[in-house]
Structure 1
Amino acid sequence: MSKLQTAIRGIVLALGALVFLFPFYYMIIGSLQTKPDESIGGAFPNPANITGANFAAINDRINLFSGLLNSGIFTAGVLICTLVFGVLVGYALAVLQWRGRGVTFALVLLVQVVPFQLLIIPLYVLIARNYGLSDSYLGMILPFAINSTAVIIFRQYFLQLPKELFEAARIDGAGEFKLLWRIALPLVRPALVTAALLTFIGPWNEFLWPFLITKQADMQPLAVSLANYISNVAATASNPFGASLAGAVVLAAPVVVLFIVFQRYFVSTDVGSSVKG
């Protein structure tokens, strides 16, 4: 590749990165402005117009810590269920031989094309009315406990592992759970992190289901609390634009930090090096 082509590619990638990152930058700048500036110059604000009062203002109305805690518990519960069930089902579909395995995997793929919105009403009736789990963490977590995407990810990773490893361990008398814990899981650590990161975004930003299942303000995740603030309270704030953006910054910060820290796992898909030697 010539130097000119390299330079052009670098310029195009840099422009793409700027376009992608500008909304995040503008969100942070807007959350720190004393008065909203919607002009182009607002992207480069006067230091005299910078303040942290917007974070205090929205925290006085919706309690950011409580919302973050609820979001964390909701997301952690979904992550644990997703990883546990995803690993077990993915292992069964990839390694074990049993009748109906192909049909089961086809059903897993079929679930991918069914919109969650179609299931909301029956799920609400089942969980809120029949089980009485409204305004509870369990009621929020149950519809997301099994993630078909995670099942597919783990299945594909387990399929890459040499079958000889499992056959040798079975000859030595190892059971399937021991095979899974001692052999399979250590070799698919990138899949664990990738599935966790991909799953984290969903429940952390989820609005519709927690909004339906929770009525008490102290049980609502931050995304729901922030939406309620924008709809019902923001108009009475001295700077509703800045306060709303301050809440958005708090909601987005954990996701951005996690992706920065763990981004290398998205490209670490080569498990072959882990089984050589």
Structure 2
Amino acid sequence: MMTQTTPGTGVRPASRPSRRRRRDLSAPRRLTRGQAIVQGIVLTLGAIAFLFPFYYMLVGSLQAEPDTSVAGAFPNPANLTLQNYGEINSRINLFQGLVNSGIFTGGVLLGTVVFGVLAGYALAILQWRGRGVTFALALLVQTIPFQLLMIPLYVLIARNYGLADNYLGMILPFVINSAAVLIFRQYFLQLPRELFDAARVDGAGEFRLLWRIALPLVRPALVTALLLTFIGPWNEFLWPFLITKEASLQPLAVSLANYISTVAGSTSNPYGAILAGAVVLAAPVVVLFIVFQRYFTSSDLGSSVKG
């Protein structure tokens, strides 16, 4: 027999939990004051440990007289100057190195987006024979280290194509990024097929589907792929060093390495000049990460599709 609730008595059926209790069960558990303080201390110490090398690099680049001890992290303000930046700029031309790094990285990013989007769309949306094998090969490429391919790539690009000391020669080996292809494929797989079927019924072609429907819904994937790809070519040293001999074409990472190995010992403060170059090289990466860090954890794909 079912238990009836008597009006005015305030008695509720035992089988029905109150709305407040259900809401309390679904709410996240709050930390106590002591737990919150401990959590804040641990996170603060972790942030300090992570940021200290960057802080030490910046402070070291501004010191007129080098101090490699721990006390050098807290220098005398009178010892701070921009002289180290002028010193290294007079030797390797920081602006030209940044321009070369920008051209190299920009070409790689352009190829990553164009070919990554096309390949990811084909592997996720289109139906064609050999799609599974192609996807397996894209995964296999991830296991092959780039250093294993450098010698045949150098013979192909420098000798056969004659692209040594050329921006295109630096860019070609990185123009297709298999990791970006996999990122775009996974994002395209999350899109509902009904969107594409309805657009095909209306007469839209595949390139129009890609441009008007797929790309606006995977903007987090675009930014994530660009950020993850940017770090690689911007800090790349081995291949540009191998393919370029002219100093005017070398990216900043290669110019800094040449400066450390040949010129740094003859300067008045080689330690500070090296750190100044490292700050210039790291600054664009740090700024981009701070500005676009929310895209690394972006999860608004579902809301975009629903809207």
TM over 0.5: yes
Deviation at 1:7, TM superposition (A): 2.2
Q: Which amino acid aligns with 1:178?
A: R
Q: Deviations over 1:151-188 (max 9, x none)?
A: 01100110111110000000000000000000000000
CA offsets 1:124-153 (integer angstroms, 9 cap, x no match): 010001110000000000000000110011
C-alpha distance in structure 2 between counterparts of 1:89 and 1:203, whole Å: 21
Q: Secondary structure at the match of 1:251?
A: helix
| 1:8-43: CA deviation from partner (whole Å, max 9, x where unpaired) | 222222111111111100000000000111111110
SS at match of 1:125: helix
Q: 1:201 aligns with which of 212, 228, 231?
A: 231
Q: Secondary structure at the match of 2:127?
A: coil
Q: Which protein, 1 or 2, shows the higher relative CO under an 8 Å CA cutoff with sep ≥ 6? A: 1
Q: Taking structure 2 as the reference length, what is the TM-score of the superposition?
A: 0.89
The reply on whether 1:82 has 2:132 as its aligned counterpart is: no
In 1, distance between residues paired with 2:305 and 2:109? 27
2:190 maps to 160
Larger Rg over CA atoms: 2
Distance 1:269 1:62 in 2: 43
SS at match of 1:241: helix
Which of 173, 192, 200 aligns to 1:143? It is 173
AA partner of residue 27 (structure 1) = M
Cα distance in 2 between the residues matched to 1:153 and 1:159: 10
TM-score (norm 1): 0.99
Distance 1:226 1:91 in 2: 39
Q: CA RMSD in A?
A: 0.8
- The percentage of counterpart residues that share the same residue type is 79
Residue 121 of structure 2 aligns with which residue?
A: 91
Q: Could you give the per-residue CA deviations for residues 209-229 of structure 1, whole angstroms, max 9, x where no partner exists?
A: 000000000000000000000
- 1:116-195 → structure 2 map (5 Å cutoff): 116-195=146-225
**5-14 vs 140-149, which moves further:** 5-14
Structure 2: gaps spanning 5 or more residues: 1-30
Q: Gapped runs of 5+ residues in structure 1?
A: none
Partner of 1:226: 256
What residue number does 1:276 align with?
A: 306
Q: Which amino acid aligns with 1:254?
A: P
What SS does structure 2 have at the residue aligned with 1:36?
A: coil
- In the other structure, the counterpart of 1:56 is 86
- Bigger drift between 95-104 and 70-79 goes to 95-104
Aligned equivalents of 2:275, 2:244: Cα separation in 1: 24
Tell me which residue corresponds to 1:213.
243
| Bigger share in helix | 1
- Aligned-partner residue type, residue 83 of structure 2: A
> Equivalent residue of 2:188, what SS?
helix
Q: What residue is the counterpart of 2:270 in the other structure?
A: 240
